[in-house]
Amino acid sequence: MKKSGYRVEQSDEEASVQRSFSVREAPGTLYLVATPIGNLEDMTYRAIRTLKEVQMIAAEDTRQTRKLLTHFDIQNRLVSYHEHNRDASGPELIRLLLQGQHIALVSDAGIPAISDPGAELVRDAVAAGIPVVPIPGANAALSALIMSGLPTDRFLFVGFPPRERKGLNKLLDGLERETGTLIFYESPHRLKKTLAILSERWGERRMAIVRELTKRHEEAVRGTVQACLSYLEQNKPLGECCLIIEGTRSENEPGSSTRELSTEAWWQSMTLARHVAHYEGLGQARKEAMKSAAADRGLSKRDVYQALLEQNGED
């Protein structure tokens, strides 16, 4: 094993061992401290003590974290570490850790390094031989899962889905055969658009939309994907949401659907005309249906229009 800059290069044949609570002078320890996702009473005694004892707290949003620290009378040094400054801030934090400083990493809410750049800091700390110690606490994904009513024995955290239809459909293609419960994060202003695409593919699957976790307006909407979409048409979504969606069922499982379990995309056996007609059957206008089919197939809308013209000409 040798050091290269602040990284430690380790061969694949070597295993590294971390003993989190052994006595050492250097390097320091990187603590991953969970913070409340809404209700401040979810802050643990250990989290408060850790934040008071470290030399520095690295936060995704210092303004938001400052409110939390003030509430618990924590006055340690606060620095910024987020997606836009991680290339500069990350190496500096690693340098300070190697010198023996203990640093706590927090996100805006919940457990750091989940859907945020903290994962990269952890990766670099591990590579540099720096101990990484989790301080557990509130987590939106698992909290939503356990209240959803859907299976919890196997699940897959997907995070925020792609914003564009083409990217989302590609993601769903890869998840088509996943039997575990799926966990997505989504923002309220994109929720209806995402659910509309999910409904085209998985309209009969059970799901739960869980929002405002641990807050006064905590809410879970349960039903099929189509039913939940219908609810959203009448009720404006507010607050960050977790989408919990059942996985596909095996063909021998009681109550299973006839959902296609092959590795091919669901539309590949269709002609282009049938593909477009499928979306028209879901209530889309002709132009919108062609746009949806084009996104699935990685084509331009013009290509689809021209191909349909040629097919009609042959008929």
Q: 0.85 exceeded by the pTM?
A: no
Looking at residue 304, what is its pLDDT?
83
| Tokens 């890869």, located at residue | 174
The rounded average pLDDT for each run of 10 residues, N- to C-terminus, in the chain (315 residues) is: 44 75 81 96 97 96 95 95 91 96 95 90 95 96 96 95 92 93 95 93 93 93 93 87 90 46 62 83 78 80 82 60
**Structural domains of the chain, ranges and CATH numbers in brackets:** 23-138 (3.40.1010.10), 141-245 (3.30.950.10), 272-314 (no CATH)
Contact residues for 108 (Cβ-Cβ < 8 A; gap 6+) = 35, 60, 61, 64, 65
Q: Using CA atoms, how far apart are residues 253 and 235, in angstroms rounded to an integer?
A: 35
Looking at residue 285, what is its pLDDT?
81
DSSP 3-state helix, strand, coil percentages of the chain (rounded to 5)? 40, 20, 40
Q: What is the DSSP string of 79-96?
A: EE--TTTHHHHHHHHHHH
Looking at residue 253, what is its pLDDT?
53
Q: Using CA atoms, how far apart are residues 206 and 314, in angstroms rounded to an integer?
A: 42
List, in sequence order, every residue forming a beta bridge with 208; answer none if it has no partner: 222, 244
